[in-house]
Amino acid sequence: MAKNYPTVSAEYSEAVEKARRKLRALIAEKSCAPLMLRLAWHSAGTFDVSSRTGGPFGTMKCPAELAHGANAGLDIAVRLLEPIKEEFPTLSYADFYQLAGVVAVEVTGGPEIPFHPGREDKPQPPPEGRLPDATKVLTT
């Protein structure tokens, strides 16, 4: 079954590509790829299948989510990204933070990752404790 992705305007797609170039320069200059990848993962890793809440919806910029124990230090990533984000007000934070993760993989020599924009920002962050606990055994 084919995955359906949101449709975005040509203007939005162009903003994504321009932001991608700016992100590539920032990540290379600041050597902050691990931090950007962590930001993207911590945002996406909060998704809860049963309630269909959490996930990469731009809430990582919220002080409440940045205050989650597992997110210590991610305020640095948010601050580094904000000047670029301000240049692209049409982009959602949700897309922008995930794009930063994609670019971080590419800058470090990883594969080119297809990026599908169209995420909408949500107003409320997920509750603390949503990230998978690496100390717990996963049962199937």
pTM: 0.91
- List the chain domain ranges: 10-108
Closest CA to 91 of 116, 114, 120, 66: 120
Residue by residue, DSSP assigns 72-94 as TTHHHHHHHHHHHHHH-TTS-HH
Just give the CATH number of 10-108: 1.10.520.10
Q: Is the pLDDT of residue 137 over 70?
A: no
Q: For residue 120, give every residue at least 6 positions away whose Cβ sits within 8 Å of its Cβ, in sequence order, or none.
A: 57, 58, 92, 94
Q: Is 68 a catalytic residue?
A: no
Whether the Cβ atoms of residue 38 and residue 100 lie closer than 8 Å to each other: no
Mean predicted lDDT score pLDDT of the chain: 93
The whole-angstrom separation of Cα 10 and Cα 64 is 34
Among 8, 36, 37, 42, which one carries the catalytic annotation? Answer: 42
Give the model confidence (pLDDT) of 28-61 as tens digits.
999 999 999 999 999 999 998 888 888 899 999 9
Q: Coil, strand or helix: which one is 53?
A: strand
